[in-house]
Structure 1
């Protein structure tokens, strides 16, 4: 029944499947230090989850050439992947259990992240989860990042699923807004932002481990304007 009612789940990565924010902070801090700028944690938290070009423009200004922006972003991502390879990653509570459960039910799944594809592949490889997804959508594949809905719509198109038959799992306000603009139900996990900033989602939980067995089926039946779900 579950596989028939739920057609696709689209997962954000950082803050949903893993918490690699400390690695990102270290990588950005070292990269911006080379540019003569000290990155504070407040700025990092405010920009976390955005595309690299957006973050670089925020911290260094918008006067850099596209080539320079690309080089700075590439240097940061090399540092990030080196940290993943050297120190490893652990999944957030409930993440792997849900990925395997949905996979067993035959539910198509995608990762939709602002991260570069190499980062997504590195993280999924570290988790042993590469085979659980039918497609990946990375930040470099779309012109506009979240809250623009293009990345979610692209994932749905690749899976051959209508947007209204998708459930998005997010941890950031921009991702929640992107899901809503795409016409998709949204489950938000309050790992990186307080619950009140995720209130536009259909359901907000502290952890994926808190979800009941029928959580995604309940989300799949959502209609626009329904009262937010609760119970976890």
Structure 2
């Protein structure tokens, strides 16, 4: 039997474990439209690795620059959060290759979640995607107050797993998340890369 090459694996949630781009875009867009200004999907897709506060700040800057209109950022944060939580269990679905890998590790290798989303959002998404039972350690921006690319989320996840950060594998789908993992001293794999997905397939049978 091949030895698993990492001491622990930390999974991002949105776009990695679960397919949630529609969920988050719809919530952000509805919150913006409630103030009279929507966003395009192309604009959102370029920034979906940002946490809620950073994304809202980016939209507010662009709206002010382009339309001279001031968004109420706090109202948008609160409204988008409420909408996301309300619909996550209906809309979130697992990302098959990553969810399959997580299931193959659960109970055999220490695994955790490390997410830029807030704890209520993450728990609702994991529940909706049928993945909540796999993880005892869930770390979010609510725990650290510092979003990726800051390494705090991943560092705390490794600490709670009792794992050496240099022996942790992080699975991510955003540039911010990959940067955070590397800053935490971890091995970062980009699940947008088909070659990485092939490597995961090979690790499932250890």
Q: Give the TM-score normalised by structure 2.
A: 0.85
Cα distance in 2, alignment partners of residues 31 and 214 from structure 1: 41
Consecutive unaligned residues in structure 1, runs of 5 or more:
191-203, 218-232
Cα distance in 2, alignment partners of residues 155 and 2 from structure 1: 26
Instruction: Give yes or no for the alignment of 1:37 onto 2:37.
Output: yes
Give how far 1:125 is off: 1.1
151-160 or 39-48, larger mean C-alpha shift: 39-48
76-85 or 164-173, larger mean C-alpha shift: 76-85
Partner of 1:177: 179
142-151 or 156-165, larger mean C-alpha shift: 142-151
Cα distance in 2, alignment partners of residues 4 and 131 from structure 1: 22
Cα distance in 2, alignment partners of residues 2 and 75 from structure 1: 48
The answer to whether the Cα contact below 8 Å between 2:11 and 2:112 also exists between their aligned partners in 1 is yes
Give how far 1:216 is off: 10
Give how far 1:140 is off: 2.3
2-11 or 34-43, larger mean C-alpha shift: 2-11
Q: Could you say which structure has the greater relative contact order, defined with CA pairs below 8 angstroms and 6 or more residues apart?
A: 2
The answer to whether the Cα contact below 8 Å between 1:28 and 1:76 also exists between their aligned partners in 2 is yes
Cα distance in 2, alignment partners of residues 216 and 69 from structure 1: 47
Partner of 2:88: 84
Aligned residues: 198
Give how far 1:92 is off: 1.3
Give how far 1:163 is off: 0.6
Aligned 1:46-61 pairs, distance under 5 A: 46-61=46-61
Cα distance in 1, alignment partners of residues 196 and 93 from structure 2: 15
- Write the deviation string for residues 26-54 of structure 1: whole angstroms up to 9, x where unpaired: 11111011122221222211221211111
Question: Alignment partner for residue 119 of structure 1, among 118, 121, 144?
Answer: 121
Give how far 1:155 is off: 0.7
The answer to whether the Cα contact below 8 Å between 1:134 and 1:159 also exists between their aligned partners in 2 is no
Question: Alignment partner for residue 157 of structure 1, among 156, 159, 164?
Answer: 159
Partner of 2:137: 135
Cα distance in 1, alignment partners of residues 56 and 2 from structure 2: 43
Partner of 2:68: none
Q: Give the TM-score normalised by structure 1.
A: 0.76
Cα distance in 2, alignment partners of residues 112 and 216 from structure 1: 24
The answer to whether the Cα contact below 8 Å between 1:16 and 1:92 also exists between their aligned partners in 2 is yes
Cα distance in 1, alignment partners of residues 124 and 184 from structure 2: 27
Give how far 1:144 is off: 2.6
Question: Alignment partner for residue 147 of structure 1, among 142, 146, 149?
Answer: 149
